[in-house]
Amino acid sequence: MGIERKFVLVAAMITALGPPAMGLDAGPQPVPPQVPPEVAWEERLEQQITRVEMELTALDRKKPKIASKLLERVQAANARIAELEKAAKLEEGTIRGRPALSDLTSDIAAMHTRIKALIDARKPKPKNQPQPPPASAPAPATPAPKPKSDPTAGWPATLRFPAKAKVVYQETGEWFLSKNRRSGLGNDFLMDGYAGVISFSLSSAGLKREIASADVRVVITQRPPFSDDDQTYWVYEVTWSSEISRAGVFGNDSLKHFTRFAEVAAPGPIEWISKPKEVTLSLPVTAHVLAVRLKSGEEIKFEAPEYRRKR
């Protein structure tokens, strides 16, 4: 056998057996294609909607035409379930009806639950026949109606709420020169009195029941420079209504702020000062409850003293 013939035979053997059989590296093996997550998700949904359609066929004995798109199949199944719910006098369910896979997943899960309710509704109800009472047994006595409790009972004759009050004030008058020009003497403001703003807060207490609103008389004792007499007061009557509670009522320990409620003024000595100075002064205060109203509409009134007013 010649050299050329031997070479041809070796080449034929390599071709027949392939590179791996000859100990040669055939290169990396091909990787099977990966299925996208959305495709796998959609395949699972198609299996689930198929199960829904089979369960519906067992209930309504209908075999409607199956749509090609997943959303159309979900909508068709929902229409069949709604028809069965109406016939069974059940509350009709709803679906989102959107093409997103998350919405379709929620719709199919809801339809499984609705189908189970339809199956339970078709189960025969147990027949419980009540046994007739013995002939000699006396008829049960009709219970007497319970007396309605009086919501206005138990309240005291007078009621007060804890309160705090303050006035923020400063001197009033005129500048001798503009603020950008000063005389150099130091006192450029000619004062003639005082003016301020009253603020106070109320805290509910002593309530026998939760209330919808309260009428309160707030009595604030004046202090210098507004008065040198401890028997002179600012008196305000306010209505505190429930504003935050969803139930429309409030009870003990609720808090209400009346910020910058009123402006007050008083004459003072006419004299030169360098500039007005803001002062915050806490004031004695008493809050007398005049009346409260319950959510049911009843009103409870309370006694409260009168005061000499000065506004």
Percent pLDDT > 90 in the chain is 33
- Residue predicted with more confidence, 19 or 103: 103
Largest CA distance in the chain: 143
- Residue predicted with more confidence, 138 or 221: 221
166 and 296 housed in the same domain = yes
Q: Is residue 231 part of a domain?
A: yes
pLDDT for res 46: 87
294 and 245 housed in the same domain = yes
Question: Which domain does 101 fall in, by range?
Answer: 37-121
Burial code of 23-50, b = ≥16 C-beta within 10 A, e = fewer? eeeeeeeeeeeeeeeeeeeeeebeebbe
Say whether pLDDT at 186 is over 90.
no
204 and 251 housed in the same domain = yes
Q: How confident is the model at residue 166 (pLDDT cuts 50, 70, 90)?
A: very high
pLDDT for res 245: 58
The count of structural domains within the chain is 2
Q: Is-contact 215 289, C-beta < 8 A?
A: yes
Q: How confident is the model at residue 311 (pLDDT cuts 50, 70, 90)?
A: very low
Q: Which residues contact 296 (CB under 8 A, 6 or more apart)?
A: 151
pLDDT for res 88: 84
pLDDT for res 135: 64
291 and 211 housed in the same domain = yes
pLDDT for res 35: 65
Q: Is residue 145 part of a domain?
A: no
- The residue-averaged pLDDT of 262-290 equals 93
190 and 237 housed in the same domain = yes
Q: Is-contact 117 89, C-beta < 8 A?
A: no
Q: How confident is the model at residue 282 (pLDDT cuts 50, 70, 90)?
A: very high
183 and 267 housed in the same domain = yes
117 and 175 housed in the same domain = no
Q: What is the mean pLDDT of the chain?
A: 82
Q: Is residue 307 part of a domain?
A: no
Q: How confident is the model at residue 307 (pLDDT cuts 50, 70, 90)?
A: confident
- Residue predicted with more confidence, 25 or 51: 51
Point out the domain boundary residue: 73, 91, 121: 121
- The residue-averaged pLDDT of 181-203 equals 85
Point out the domain boundary residue: 121, 150, 180: 121
pLDDT for res 136: 65
Point out the domain boundary residue: 121, 150, 178: 121
List, in sequence order, every residue forming a beta bridge with 196; answer none if it has no partner. Answer: 169, 264
78 and 206 housed in the same domain = no
61 and 115 housed in the same domain = yes
Highest mean pLDDT among 12-26, 51-65, 126-140: 51-65
Q: Is residue 29 part of a domain?
A: no
Residue 78 CA to chain centroid, in angstroms?
32
295 and 164 housed in the same domain = yes
Percent pLDDT > 70 in the chain is 78
Whole-structure pTM value: 0.51
* Full 3-state SS string of 44-106: HHHHHHHHHHHHHHHHHCCCCCCCCCHHHHHHHHHHHHHHHHHHCCCCCCCCCCCCCHHHHHH
Q: Is residue 290 part of a domain?
A: yes
Say whether pLDDT at 278 is over 50.
yes
Q: Is residue 139 part of a domain?
A: no
Output the CA torsion 86→92→98→100 (10° steps): -110
* Full 3-state SS string of the chain: CCHHHHHHHHHHHHHHHHHHHCCCCCCCCCCCCCCCHHHHHHHHHHHHHHHHHHHHHHHHCCCCCCCCCHHHHHHHHHHHHHHHHHHCCCCCCCCCCCCCHHHHHHHHHHHHHHHHHHHHHHCCCCCCCCCCCCCCCCCCCCCCCCCCCCCCCCCCCCCEECEEEEEEEEEEEEECCCCCCCCCCCCCEEEEEEEEEEEEEEECCCCCCCECEEEEEEEEECCCCCCCCCCCEEEEEEEEECCCCCCCCECCCCEEEEEEEEEEEEEEEEEEECCCCCEEEEECEEEEEEEEECCCCCEEECCCCCCCECC
179 and 109 housed in the same domain = no
Look up residue 221 and give its two tokens: 């004792």
Total number of residues shown for the chain: 311
Q: Is residue 20 part of a domain?
A: no
Q: How confident is the model at residue 191 (pLDDT cuts 50, 70, 90)?
A: very high
Q: Is residue 225 part of a domain?
A: yes
Contacts 24+ apart (CB under 8 A), 299-308: 300/152, 300/155, 302/155, 302/156, 302/157, 302/158, 302/159, 303/157, 303/158, 304/158, 304/217, 307/219, 307/233, 307/235, 308/231, 308/232, 308/233
- The residue-averaged pLDDT of 134-150 equals 70
224 and 283 housed in the same domain = yes
Say whether pLDDT at 7 is over 60.
no
